[in-house]
Amino acid sequence: MRAVLTVIGKDKVGIVAGVSQSLATLNINIVDMTQTIMQDYFTMMMILDMDKQTSFDYIRQELDKTGQQLGVKISIQNEEIFNAMHKLG
């Protein structure tokens, strides 16, 4: 199953490393990613590949903990739901 993850917050050292480490611990593969810094704000979007059996609620809880530790907002959605929500027309 694929998922879309976004990270937004004030830029600081260790955001990419912290998020990547959490994903690795959860056995989630990063398929693609983009990041940018807009003035002092860090933004990142990732496409992830994960086991369908993995509990999305558990993943959200763990990523919420990571976000709190890093001082950023981390959001994750199933890619199919993300695409349906952002489909034009």
Q: What is the CATH number of the domain that holds 27?
A: 3.30.70.260
63 inside domain: yes
Q: Which residue has the tokens 């809880």?
A: 61
Decide if 58 contacts 76 (C-beta within 8 A). Answer: no
Q: What is the pLDDT along the chain (89 residues), one digit of tens a residue?
A: 899 999 999 999 999 999 999 999 999 999 999 999 999 999 999 999 998 888 889 999 999 999 999 999 999 988 566 555 656 55
pLDDT score of 1: 87
CA distances from 50 to 4, 23, 39, 42, 65 (A): 11, 10, 32, 25, 19
- Examine residue 89 and state whether it is found in any structural domain, yes or no: no
In a domain, 49, yes or no: yes
- pTM of the model as a whole: 0.86
> How much is the pLDDT for 39?
92
Residue 36's domain comprises 1-84
Quote the pLDDT of residue 52. 83
Beta partners for 4? 47, 77
Q: Tell me how many domains the chain contains.
A: 1
β-strand partners of 76: 5
- C-alpha–C-alpha distance, residues 37 and 32, integer Å: 18
